[in-house]
A = this chain, B = another copy of it.
């Protein structure tokens, strides 16, 4: 049995959630739908309107009776600050509560400079992006390229982020901006972004990111599956069937990331005498029609598919979304992934499985960061307490 709700099931936040289905309602509609007392509905709508979260969008003139005001959710009532931070650059954005991006900027950085350098860069970028006289800021969402303990917002033993382990990211940013700060792994947020904005109907999905690293994010029953310590989806350091004794940057050997990440592909190209160092080089070569690069990317897709096949058997998603820089190079990666997954997974698990390219694209992570904040800001735990004070 599920546990009982910890908050009032008929709170202002619950009323707002009713209105978030997009259908405007009159007071009488709400009374009929919820069984709340007329006075309660009036009081809660007043609270939500005073907070700007609900608008009176005019009279309902569809019936012959006395016209009555209709009320609707107002996504523009708050702004959300979002950032998707990678190893070498970040996407920084301002969005509304409906995950519409109002302003976006790319900034260059080196994650190894540590949080006391990087986080002020983000704060500066948000301050520049925020329009003067805009709606109040509901909160900040940050995606980082490593495991994050979501409840505290602290990175948890991140392999490529020297200086970040255990750092109080929300503390530093909240001290600057004075609003709640939520932090998560960037691939989790990429999954949330794809799910929220592009594939809301997919109850169970795996979003794979192939770039300098390899990771994935899981959606289970329509909700992000973060795992016990925020480490779920770590596809990159599972043993690859043909991983052999290739050394991985994590210290182990034979990890998927050691054979199929962008840098691993570049290394394979160098062995064939092709000049390539970074993930971007590989992508550039594929786009320029390099046969060698195309073959290397396709083989990486097969290697990823072999590890993913077991995950598909176990998780039985209806959808696998492949994104990240390498996926943007075209169909080769996806073709390789499909080849292995459809060959190796259980027939039943692949019967209705779609394996597709990212739809939210490079903005998936920042959209997910915005979605995380909007969901939090409008949750009963936050909104009801705020409105009651």
Contact = CB atoms under 8 A, between A and B. Distances in A.
Interface of A: 1-5, 8-11, 14, 17-21, 33-40, 44, 99, 147, 156-157, 196, 200, 203-204, 216, 218, 220-223, 225-235, 237-239, 241, 307, 309-311, 313-318, 344, 346-349, 351-353, 371, 374-375, 378
Nearest to A159: B348
A204 B225 contact: yes
A346 B3 CA distance: 31
Contacts of A344: 239
Contacts of A39: 37
A356 to B, nearest CB: 14
A35 B36 contact: yes
Contacts of A239: 241, 309-310, 344
Given A228-B316, A348-B229, A34 B9 contact: yes
Contact of A353 (B228, B237, B353): B228
Contact of A346 (B8, B11, B234, B347): B234
A316 B36 contact: no
Given A17-B4, A157-B348, A237-B313, A11 B35 contact: yes
Contacts of A36: 10, 35-37, 40
A311 B18 CA distance: 37
B18 A3 contact: no
A233 B318 CA distance: 14
B375 A316 contact: no
Contacts of A231: 313, 316, 346, 348-349
Contacts of A20: 1, 4
Given A216-B314, A220-B223, 4 more contacts: A221-B221, A233-B314, A235-B313, A311-B314
A77 B305 CA distance: 51
B229 A316 contact: yes
Nearest to A22: B4
B238 A314 contact: yes
A209 to B, nearest CB: 14
Contacts of A203: 228
Contacts of A318: 228-229
Contacts of A1: 20, 99, 196, 371, 374-375, 378
Contacts of A222: 2-3
The 6 closest A-B pairs by CB, nearest first: A227-B316, A37-B37, A228-B318, A4-B21, A220-B220, A10-B10
A330 to B, nearest CB: 27
A208 to B, nearest CB: 11
A98 B4 CA distance: 14
Most chain B beta carbons < 10 A, residue from A36, A228, A309: A228
A233 B203 CA distance: 16
Most chain B C-beta atoms within 10 Å of own C-beta, residue among A99, A226, A231, A241: A231
Contact of A18 (B9, B19, B309): B9
B232 A314 contact: yes
